[in-house]
Structure 1
Amino acid sequence: MFLNGLYTDGYTCRALFARKVLLSPAEENIRLELDDLSSEEVNKHFRPCTVDPGRRDPFVSYQGGSDIRRLSSFEYYNMGGNITRMKEQQKHKHRLGIEKIETDIPSPKTASVEQFVLYITYMSQHMNTLFDFYNFETAKVEWLN
């Protein structure tokens, strides 16, 4: 249920929702602590590890002994599909000519009035093309990334 709350800072949007809390079955209320299990039970049913985010890799796990597992940034982004989505979007931009339009945009960061007028003129000429490309489909890709 929407709680009539919508907040934005110009870049992100936050909406307030609520839902009914369902009663949980009794077995979901069981809380086990580490002291409830013996070391044999822990070693038999679990694989304890320590996790350190490290400085280079998003995930580094020490499993004991010399068993260290890493997940590189490339693997992390590839597993999430970011790289594939970005490549597909670049191909789509190239096919529609958006890549060329974006490359040729003059810089708005200038002290020259003439240069800024050039920027405004260029953006006005290509505004509809850019709005047609950056619609809900591209917003979905950005959200997934």
Structure 2
Amino acid sequence: MTDGFATSFTFKKPKGPAPAPFFTAEDLALADLQECRIWGVDPGVNEVFVAVDGSCPDIFGSQGAAANTQASHEIRKMSSSEYYHKAGFNRTNERIRVATEAAGIDKITSAIPSPATMNPDKLASYMKAVMASKKDLTTFYGNLLPKLRFLNYRGRQKTDDEMVNILLSGGAKYNSPSQKKKKKKNRKQSTQHTEFLVIRY
């Protein structure tokens, strides 16, 4: 099935293997804290995710207790507004708004009564208004939305990939020349072998 811009297929999804268990604090030994960078990952109030690296080896004393709470750490995150902007959702919404105003569709939709009612007469009025405007609405949105929906899909795929890169390696957001210079100035690079271990809260 296609709308002129994208094609959809129906496949049978095979049953995958059971997911591996997540790491917990009990799975870590004190030596692990000296060799790994442990990231705490959690969604924020206005962020898709916030990742914090608070496991600098200088923090932990001989018994694993916090010895230096002022040791530097790194924060990586992506806000919801940043995600919408990078994926192109805001640009798509603006194009829809401009197109609906230019074609007068906004006046048609604003004249349609709300379907949120328990009154049969008001519900009948809503259905009559929709049917009266059906041709104009389907013609307009049928020509406009398929392309924008496909662009949104591409933007979401690219932004999801970039979000994974930000979490694992910093991505372009945290590896720009200015960011590298700032990191070099504020944080002494460790010579130890570094691994990534993500703990989900």
Q: Which range, TM-score by smaller chain?
A: 0.5 to 0.7
Residue 67 (structure 1) shift:
1.7
Question: Counterparts of 1:31-70 in structure 2 under 5 Å?
Answer: 50-56=39-45, 57-64=47-54, 65-70=72-77
- Please, which moves more after superposition, 130-139 or 87-96? 130-139
Are the equivalent residues in 2 in contact too, given 1:54–1:60 (CA < 8 A)? yes
**Partner residue, 1:126:** 133
Q: Does 1:72 align with 2:61?
A: no
Q: Would the alpha carbon gap of residues 51 and 103 (structure 1) be closer, same or farther in structure 2, given more than 3 Å must change?
A: farther
Query: What residue identity is the alignment partner of 1:55?
Result: G
**Partner residue, 1:27:** none
Are the equivalent residues in 1 in contact too, given 2:50–2:75 (CA < 8 A)? yes
Residue 14 (structure 1) shift:
6.8
Q: Would the alpha carbon gap of residues 111 and 77 (structure 1) be closer, same or farther in structure 2, given more than 3 Å must change?
A: closer
Instruction: Name structure 1 gaps, 5 residues minimum.
Output: 1-5, 7-12, 19-38
Are the equivalent residues in 2 in contact too, given 1:51–1:61 (CA < 8 A)? yes
RMSD across aligned positions (CA): 3.1
Query: What residue identity is the alignment partner of 2:42?
Result: P
Aligned mates of 1:14, 1:110 — CA distance in 2: 38
Are the equivalent residues in 1 in contact too, given 2:41–2:51 (CA < 8 A)? yes
- Please, which moves more after superposition, 79-88 or 55-64? 55-64
Deviations 1:15-53 (A, max 9, x none): 1179xxxxxxxxxxxxxxxxxxxx9xx89xxxx562513
Identity, % of aligned positions: 23
Are the equivalent residues in 2 in contact too, given 1:49–1:61 (CA < 8 A)? no
Q: Secondary structure at the match of 1:15?
A: coil
Query: What residue identity is the alignment partner of 1:84?
Result: R
Aligned mates of 2:99, 2:128 — CA distance in 1: 25
**Partner residue, 1:95:** 102
Query: What residue identity is the alignment partner of 2:44?
Result: R
**Partner residue, 2:11:** 16
Higher relative contact order (CA 8 A, sep 6+): 2
